[in-house]
Amino acid sequence: MPIKTLEPNLLQRVEAWLKGPFDEATKREIQRLMESDPQGLSDAFFKDLSFGTGGMRGLMGVGPNRMNVYTIRAATQGLANYLNKQPKPEEGRHTVFIGYDVRHHSKEFASEAARVLAANEIRVLLTSDICPTPLVSYGCRHYGCSAAIMITASHNPPAYNGYKVYWGDGGQVVPPHDIGIIEEVRQVATHAPISLAPADSPLIETIEQEIDEDYLTELVKLQLHPEIASDELNLLYTPLHGTGIRIIPQALASWGYHHLHLIEEQKDPDPNFSNAPSPNPEEQKALEIGMAILRKTNADLLIATDPDADRMGLVALDKGHPFRFTGNQIACLSLFHICNTLATRGILPSNAAFIKTIVTTELFRAIAESFGGLCIDVLTGFKYIGEQITLWEKSFDANQFIYGAEESYGYLFGTMVRDKDAINAACLIAEAAMLAKKQGLTLVDRLYQLYEKFGIYREAVANLAFAESAAGLANMQELMKQLRQNPPASIGGQLIVAFEDYQTGLSRDLQHHTEKRLSLPSSDVLCFWFADWSKLVIRPSGTEPKIKIYAEVIEKHADPIEHAIHRADGKLQHLLTSFQGLLK
């Protein structure tokens, strides 16, 4: 594909890289794409990689629409510009903590970010080795940093990488700082010269694994039942080739759980995730090796964490068969364990508060409120949980945060971290399992006890995919518009009693014909409520061309439990199928 045949705008963008201050290997790769992969060239250059409210994430490769050292430098220069417009700390300069995961180029990207910050007179604390995301949030707070960066693409496939930004409270950036950083990043062109300090700059300090010891010291303070810790609990653990191997075995041991066997095929850090297809603990295929060993060894639990160790999956044996818990179920088991323990001892604070996202199960609310706690909803994304913790801390009549969770396998107990924390979650669920075992129960039994007490809550997620094009995006937006303007009166034979539109900020009671304002920020989310408090939530994905449909049904009659679960699952599938039928 000769360069002169490219569209003028694309040609201009490609020439800027061919003639600009880029290394020869990058220019050779651009030439190769021009000659043998014109579509790949177009994809890599037709736009700049988006830097959004959570940072950026994308395929690695050459060009402004890819993760590479140049897009990393540009993003970091924007962050540096924003930081240097903020009031300086007492020591006279800002400090940024940087961690990175096991992915290809993660260490290189972290080093490049450090060099840009140092060139802008910003002190950097750079981890010496792979680092779980929770340790970055913790390190940001522990060292009194102004911000932090985590180089990770979480559980995305191996070809991806990403760049997450945290603020000084240890939470992911939220307004106004996210908007301010985005604006600064937009003003930095990827082909503009960006100053780099040498890698051995005195402003770049290496953080060794002493941070692990500090984190573990604080983590042990969260232990609820140190008296029951025992090697009787037989645990399997897989980091899915990720960063969890650095600290989770030590964390479990610090709580007294030493009987831990690693899934050998998946224990070593590996940027290709060779034995963990789709390294996501939400997906069964990532857990199949571990589940086979669980059956063979008859262990109590299989714990799995994603590559940056912020999400945790869980499997137990139920009548000899693996039982994969959902993120909602893990959250509710952990919540009940915390509340029941604190309430039994008479130390559950009178202002105890719990946080879930709007797409997380309502069973979470039922449990929290049964113990007299306050449960609030936030928008989808754990950063909003972290934000709410900080808001409560700054308030004079504050609620006391105890526990927060989201359905997508993210959990947080206590406030030492301000993002989802699989290290913390693994210890807590191991303790809950040990307490159940001492009572002759499994976590599956404990879940069924919750169902018998509160009702059976069953959830599922469906995706409505659109083409990755301008037309696909337009179709997705039009569908949301139609649902917003003409919401159905019923779905699957069930009458809708309330309709919430988080974009307009209005909740409509369709039975009493009243309206009230929603308290959450504007977001492109719709929620339909049914008479039995079943619900359906619809929102466009923030990272992919698809609409996500979250459904939850409640079955109050739980006897016998297996039959009731079957009935609930049938209702759930009927609701999802009926709604998808309305969209066609």
Helix (H) or strand (E) holding 402: strand 400-406
Mean pLDDT of 379-391: 95
Condensed to tens digits (0 to 9), the pLDDT of residues 450-504 reads 999 999 999 999 999 888 777 788 888 899 999 999 999 999 999 999 999 999 9
Handedness of CA 375, 381, 387, 393 (dihedral sign): positive
DSSP letter for each residue of 217-254: HHHHTT-S-GGG--TTS-EEEE-TTSGGGGTHHHHHHH
CA distance 576 to 536: 8
Helix (H) or strand (E) holding 96: strand 95-100
Higher pLDDT, 386 or 468: 386
Known catalytic residue at 154: yes
Count of all residues that appear for the chain in the document: 584
What's the pTM? 0.95
Handedness of CA 70, 278, 574, 328 (dihedral sign): negative
pLDDT at position 559: 79
- Average pLDDT of the chain to the nearest whole number: 94
pLDDT at position 9: 84
If one counts every other C-beta atom within 10 angstroms of the C-beta of residue 467, the result is 12
538: exposed, middle or buried (C-beta count within 10 Å: 0-12, 13-18, 19+)?
A: buried
CA distances from 196 to 70, 149, 161, 529 (A): 11, 17, 22, 54
Ordered domains of the chain (ranges, CATH): 69-208 (3.40.120.10), 215-308 (3.40.120.10), 328-454 (3.40.120.10), 456-582 (3.30.310)
The answer to whether the beta carbons of residues 368 and 354 sit under 8 Å apart is: yes
CA distance 109 to 150: 10
Where residue 575 falls among pLDDT bands split at 50, 70, 90?
very high
Condensed to tens digits (0 to 9), the pLDDT of residues 250-302 reads 999 999 999 999 999 999 999 999 999 889 999 999 999 999 999 999 999 99
CA distance 49 to 160: 12
The answer to whether the beta carbons of residues 564 and 450 sit under 8 Å apart is: no
Mean pLDDT of 517-542: 92
Helix (H) or strand (E) holding 330: helix 327-344
Given a cut of 90, whether residue 421 has pLDDT beyond it is yes
Least confident of 52-56, 314-318, 326-330: 52-56
Say which residue the tokens 């034995």 belong to: 275
Mean pLDDT of 344-351: 96
Contacts of 379 (CB under 8 A, 6+ apart): 357, 358, 502, 520, 521, 523, 525
pLDDT at position 396: 75
DSSP structural state of residue 348: S
pLDDT at position 543: 63
Reading the block at residue 391, the tokens are 């808001």
Condensed to tens digits (0 to 9), the pLDDT of residues 355-379 reads 999 999 999 999 999 999 999 999 9
CA distance 50 to 64: 9
Mean pLDDT of 133-152: 98
Where residue 1 falls among pLDDT bands split at 50, 70, 90?
very low
If one counts every other C-beta atom within 10 angstroms of the C-beta of residue 200, the result is 7
Reading the block at residue 274, the tokens are 């060779």
Higher pLDDT, 230 or 426: 426
Query: Of 154, 254, 523, 534, which is the active-site residue?
Result: 154
Rounded to whole angstroms, the maximal C-alpha distance in the chain is: 76
Condensed to tens digits (0 to 9), the pLDDT of residues 74-84 reads 999 999 999 99
Given a cut of 60, whether residue 3 has pLDDT beyond it is no
pLDDT at position 5: 63
